[in-house]
Amino acid sequence: MLVDTHTHIHEGFDRDGTPEEVFAHAHENGVEKIITIGTSPEDSEKARQFAEEWAKKGEKIYWTWGYHPNMYEEKFRETLTNDLNMALKALESPQNVGIGEIGLDYHFDGFDRERQRELLLELLQIAQDQKKPVSFHIREAFDDFWPIFDNFHLPTSVLHSYSDSKKNLKIALEKDLYIGVNGLATFADIVHAPLERIVLETDAPYLTPAPFRGKMNKPGYVRNIAEWASEYYKVSIAEVEKITTKNAESIYKI
Ligand SMILES: [Zn+2]
C-alpha cells in the first residue's frame, strides 16, 4: 500500500477524468491514502470540502491548510486575521492532518520576501500551537528558512519536493525533517535522502513522473515514483512501500 502525501487532487479534474476515475486509478496502483494540500485560504477550503466529501464515500483522503509563498496577494494583510481564524476553525476538520504547503520561494521575482517570512511565522505559530505537522515548500531560500525553523518546536514535518543542495539536505536530516520525493526524481538530477527518511508524493497535477511526462499527473503515479525508488535504493518495491508508508502514517497520523 502506498500513500500520496502531497497532491492537489481537489483542484479539478477537467483534464484527466472524474474524481471517481482518479480514485480508481489510484487504487489500481495500490495508492490507498491521499493527502490533498491547500495553497491559499480559498483553496484550503476546497481541499477540506473535497476531503470530507470523499471520506464520507469511503476514501482515505485527508487534507492540509496551506498558504503557498507565491499565493500571497498584495492585500493579504487586510484579510490575514480573518484567514488565520478560519484556518484555526478548519483545522478541527476530522480529515485535517496538517499545515501546508507553506514556506519561502525566492525563485521568482515579484513576491515580497519580507511578506513571505511574516506569513510563514504566523503559520508556524499555528502549527506549533495545534501540534500539526507541516508540508514545507522551500525554494532557493534555505539561508532564511533555517533560522525561522529553529525558532519553533514542530511535530516531525516534511520538506516537500526537495531539490536543493547536499548541504541543506544534511541540515534537514539533522533537524529531523523528512523529504518528499516526487516525479522530479525520475527526470531531474537531484540529491536524495536515505530511504528511511523519505515519503512519496506526486504534487499532482504538476511534476508528472517519467514515463508519463506531458500527461496530467495523478495520485496513482506514486507507483512510478516507488518503482524509481526501488531501482535507486536497490531494494524491492515491497520494501519501498513498507518504509515510505510507515513514515507517512506516523508523520501525518493516518
Ligand atoms: Zn504542491
Rounded distance from Cα 138 to ligand 1 centre (Å): 11
Confidence of residue 15 (pLDDT cuts 50, 70, 90): low
> Cα of 113 to ligand 1 centre, how many Å?
19
Q: Find the mean pLDDT for residues 82-99.
A: 96
Answer whether 105's CB lies under 8 Å from 72's CB.
no
| Distance (Å, whole) CA 177 – CA 164 | 14
- What is the whole-number distance in angstroms between the Cα of residue 37 and the centre of ligand 1? 7
Q: What is the pTM of this model?
A: 0.96
**pLDDT tens-digit readout, 61-85:** 999 999 999 988 777 788 889 999 9
Indicate if the alpha-carbon torsion angle 148, 178, 90, 65 is positive or negative.
Answer: positive
Contact 38, 232 (CB under 8 A): no
Q: Which residue has the cell 491521499?
A: 34
pLDDT tens for each residue of 159-176: 999 999 999 999 999 999
The pLDDT, as a whole number, for residue 110 is 81
* pLDDT > 80? residue 14: no
What separation in Å is there between the alpha carbon of 137 and the centre of ligand 1? Answer: 8
Distance 8 CA to ligand 1 centre (A): 7
pLDDT score, position 12: 75
Angle at 62 between CA 61 and CA 64, to 5 degrees: 150
Residue 100 Cα to ligand 1 middle (Å): 9
**What percent of the chain stands above pLDDT 70?**
98
Ligand 1 mean position, distance from CA 201 (Å): 9
Ligand 1 centre distance from Cα of residue 203 (Å):
5
CB-based burial label for 47 (10 Å; 0-12, 13-18, 19+): buried
Express each pLDDT in 126-171 by its tens digit. Answer: 999 999 999 999 999 999 999 999 999 999 999 999 999 999 999 9
Rounded to 5°, angle at Cα 8 from 132 and 97: 20
Q: Which amino acid is at 227?
A: E
Q: What domains can you pick out in the chain, each with its CATH number?
A: 2-225+241-252 (3.20.20.140)
For residue 69, the model assigns a pLDDT of 92
Distance CA 3, CA 104 (A): 25
pLDDT given at position 216:
87
| CA separation for the pair 119, 96 (Å, rounded) | 20
pLDDT for the residue numbered 71: 87
Question: C-alpha grid cell for residue 107?
Answer: 525563485
User: Cα(200) to centroid of ligand 1, in Å?
Assistant: 13
Rg over CA atoms, the chain:
17
Question: Does 11 sit behind a cis peptide bond, omega within 30 degrees of 0 on the bond before it?
Answer: no
pLDDT in tens, 24-67: 999 999 999 999 999 999 999 999 999 999 999 999 999 999 99
